Amino acid sequence: MIGVLAALAVAAQPIPTPSSLVETVDLSTPVLSPDGKTVAFRQGRASLNSNLYELSWWTVPLDASTPPRMIADAGSALWNSSGGPVVEAAQWSSDSLWLYYRALKEQQVQVWRSDRRGGMGEPVTRDDGDVERFILKGDRLAYAVRATRSQILDAERAAYDQGVLIDATIDPSQNLFSAIEINGRMASQRFSGSWFQRSGILGDASQRIKAIDLTNLKPIDAQLEVPQDPSDRIDVFALEKSLGPASASPFGQVSVTWRPGGSAVQITNPDGSKLTCETPTCQAARPLWAAWRPGRAQVVFAARDASLGTALYLWTPARAETKTITLDAGTLDGGAFAQPCSVGIAKVVCVVADSLSPPRLEAIDLGSGGRTILAAPNGPPLSQDELVAERLSWKDTAGRRFTGVLLRPRRARHLPLFVNYYACAGYLRGGVGDQFPFMILAQAGIVSLCVNETRDDSGGQDSVADYEAGLAGVRAAIDDLADRGLIDPSKVGMGGLSFGSDVTLWVAAHSSLLAAASIASVQVGPAYYWLNGVAGRDTHEGLRRFWKLGRLDETPDRWKLVAPALHADQIKAPLLMQLPEQEFRPTIDLFAALSNSTTPVEFHVFAQEPHILTQPRHRLAAYARNVDWFRFWLQDYMDPSPGKADQYRRWEAMRSAQAAALAQPQTSSQDRTQDSTSAR
């Protein structure tokens, strides 16, 4: 039975439009100045006008005595392999006057700096290669580059003219040229690490370390080191990983270590010995990030509870004790998963967000837990006069605990339901990947449920077991919400990205729960297997380990179970597929199978996009089509906009064809055998 954990705080802002939801301002990487008086933070905003994710740096006094001030236009976003904006903190000069940061401007990545007192910044480096990392060392700055921009262009041109050698670095699923945005231009991309990690051409070139004298901004010859980026060494298959960046101090290095079954706060002492927090609080918590308190042998860390609320704790290793600083129903971090808040001597500065509360910046007192809002560019939380948000907790028939957030009209009775399965932390825009606008659906009369993933006891080593757990949790939620009279269980839709897409199709194929579905990511199947099967790739290793899939002729029954393309006849719910160009080719077998059946299916591909959509206009289009799709199948509603007439003609034709097929008498296997015998 579902238990309502908490009704979220009453708010005062109307529900956003789809456009304003896309253009929500993100806050990230707060960093306190050395004198402890000022906080610098980054704002990021998807602009539908420019179709870019635009960045800027701001400062605000820690005491909130004056409003935030923009001190730098930081250009547009750099992107990681998955399609998320690169999140990295700026660095203060030792006198707390200058802020140094990387910026992408005019298709160049250079180090820039801005005076905290005002001005729009100046370039510090003017290198012929794009700066990957940098570090301040007194009045010197060291930075790392690889190949020059002209060398990269020459290599791309040579490959174009001479033909591309196909090996394990080539992704047949994306264009060979102008495939994806890299550092401000459409460029060629190559596999460069474990699983699907990628970089541009010549991304494996030798690293070059250079230095700048900050007193005159001139290059100098100095032997300085620049720390490696931990993301360069990610082992996707490792059973133990570090979450987020480590924090260093004279007392050692502290980090959060993840392993199947949980995570832990761990100190690596200067002598190399390790100390893990084993207080009752630490053992019960699920830590996300940890950082030293400046000048003290104390660690501040954040941990989430089962419903993805967050608590801040202060750990004193010498006394083996932990103290609760504050609790929040939403997130307390540096603006991204496992990104730490900025910890000062007396206060910690965090980005705070909740289901109906867009990101804001707060200072939290380490002693009293008192909180002060420093910046709220998105305004106050959203009003619950129209929509209500509930945190839910329930169990499936196997006793597994599930949690989630329900958005519903205040007077919901027997309404359609939309389900998204993966993670529900922070501000509920469109779920993981941001393609399913919960608020817009709920405002249209479709109750929206975001479900936090609950894995099977396999520890993430058996995807099918995890899919089955997801199905059981979704089934239990539907039953309980129907018992409450909130939803009509015959009108349920489901959609998701990545693991959420997998679970959506599993529910569609292995139950009759869904009346409509939508996926946003690639699916494992025969096409996927061979497109990612060139010798030297580790994809087949991952498929064997996590999906228990060998060669197609080696494990045919398992392939039939796992690959949607091989059991497409079991999928009856109308399916919308909105995939990035990088992922549609390996999924064409599923679309082909469904397109030759009577199951309604429509496939849209967003050009030059990675796993997560980066272009704001694409995201808005995904929003609109998902809303239209679920309203059509769950509410029998058609938007009267003239520009959508062709869309609805297609969908009406699909619905009529499926209805006609279902109206045909079903021939039993015995009848088919008799007909075949008669024919012979």
CB 360 within 8 A of CB 373: yes
- Does the pLDDT of residue 508 top 90, yes or no? yes
Cα angle value 62/63/65 (rounded, 5°): 115
C-alpha distances in angstroms, 327 versus 127, 310, 324, 331, 334? 46, 6, 8, 10, 16
Q: What is the Cα–Cα distance from 178 to 195, expressed in whole angstroms?
A: 22
Q: Compute the half-sphere exposure of residue 593: CA atoms within 13 Å on the CB side of its CA.
A: 18
User: Band of the pLDDT at 205, cuts 50, 70, 90?
Assistant: very high
Structure confidence by residue, pLDDT tens digits, 56-113: 999 999 999 999 999 999 999 999 999 999 999 999 999 999 999 999 999 999 999 9
- The gap between the terminal CA atoms of the chain, to the nearest Å, is 57
Say what the pLDDT of residue 4 is.
41
In sequence order, what are the beta bridge partners of 496?
A: 519
- Does the pLDDT of residue 224 top 90, yes or no? no
- Does the pLDDT of residue 258 top 90, yes or no? no
Phi, psi of 171 (to 5 degrees): -100, 105
Average pLDDT over every residue of 27-34: 98
Say what the pLDDT of residue 27 is.
98
Q: Compute the half-sphere exposure of residue 285: CA atoms within 13 Å on the CB side of its CA.
A: 29
| Distance, CA of 90 to chain centre | 22
Q: What is the Cα–Cα distance from 57 to 362, expressed in whole angstroms?
A: 16
Q: What is the Cα–Cα distance from 607 to 656, expressed in whole angstroms?
A: 31
Average pLDDT over every residue of 604-622: 98
For residue 371, the tally of other CB atoms under 10 A from its CB is 15
Say what the pLDDT of residue 10 is.
37
Q: What is the Cα–Cα distance from 120 to 102, expressed in whole angstroms?
A: 14
Say what the pLDDT of residue 232 is.
53
Q: For the chain, give every residue range classified as CATH 3.40.50.1820.
A: 387-523+563-663
C-alpha distances in angstroms, 624 versus 327, 330, 418, 447, 617? 36, 27, 15, 17, 11
Q: For the chain, give every residue range classified as CATH 2.120.10.30.
A: 237-379
Q: Which two tokens stand for residue 146?
A: 């690889």
Q: What is the Cα–Cα distance from 595 to 617, expressed in whole angstroms?
A: 27
Give the start-end residues of each E strand in 508-597.
Answer: 516-519, 575-580
Say what the pLDDT of residue 468 is.
97
Q: Given the structure tokens 């007077």, which residue do they identify?
A: 411
Q: What is the Cα–Cα distance from 331 to 304, expressed in whole angstroms?
A: 8
Say what the pLDDT of residue 457 is.
75
User: Band of the pLDDT at 672, cuts 50, 70, 90?
Assistant: very low
Average pLDDT over every residue of 609-622: 98
Kind plus residue range of the DSSP H or E element containing 19: helix 18-22
Assign residue 414 a region: left if phi > 0, alpha if psi is -120 to 50, beta otherwise? left
Which segment, 114-118, 377-381, 646-650, is predicted with the most confidence on average?
646-650
Say what the pLDDT of residue 297 is.
96
In sequence order, what are the beta bridge partners of 145?
A: 208
Structure confidence by residue, pLDDT tens digits, 515-545: 999 999 999 999 999 999 999 999 999 999 9
Say what the pLDDT of residue 674 is.
43
CB 31 within 8 A of CB 40: yes
Model's pTM, two decimal places? 0.94
Q: Which two tokens stand for residue 28?
A: 């990230």
Task: Give the CATH number of domain 387-523+563-663.
Answer: 3.40.50.1820
Alpha helices by DSSP H, 563-668: 581-584, 588-595, 616-635, 645-663
- Does the pLDDT of residue 495 top 90, yes or no? yes
Say what the pLDDT of residue 459 is.
62
Which segment, 111-125, 246-260, 455-469, 530-544, is predicted with the most confidence on average?
530-544
Structure confidence by residue, pLDDT tens digits, 292-343: 999 999 999 999 876 668 999 999 999 999 999 999 999 999 999 889 999 9
Q: Given the structure tokens 């250009």, which residue do they identify?
A: 75
User: Band of the pLDDT at 148, cuts 50, 70, 90?
Assistant: very high
Name 340's Cβ contacts closer than 8 Å, sequence gap at least 6. 244, 245, 247, 289, 290, 291, 302, 333, 334
The CATH class of 237-379 is mainly beta
Name 489's Cβ contacts closer than 8 Å, sequence gap at least 6. 417, 478, 479, 481, 482, 513
Among 196-200, 258-262, 490-494, 556-560, the least confident range: 258-262
Question: Which amino acid makes up residue 233?
Answer: R
Structure confidence by residue, pLDDT tens digits, 151-191: 999 999 999 999 999 999 999 999 999 999 999 999 999 99
Question: Which amino acid makes up residue 183?
Answer: N
User: Band of the pLDDT at 269, cuts 50, 70, 90?
Assistant: very high
| Distance, CA of 320 to chain centre | 35
Structure confidence by residue, pLDDT tens digits, 397-450: 999 999 999 999 998 899 999 999 999 999 999 999 999 999 999 999 999 999
Structure confidence by residue, pLDDT tens digits, 110-129: 999 999 887 778 999 999 99
Say what the pLDDT of residue 231 is.
56
Structure confidence by residue, pLDDT tens digits, 630-639: 999 999 999 9
DSSP reduced 3-state for 92? strand
Name 652's Cβ contacts closer than 8 Å, sequence gap at least 6. none
Among 50-64, 172-186, 459-473, 543-557, the least confident range: 459-473
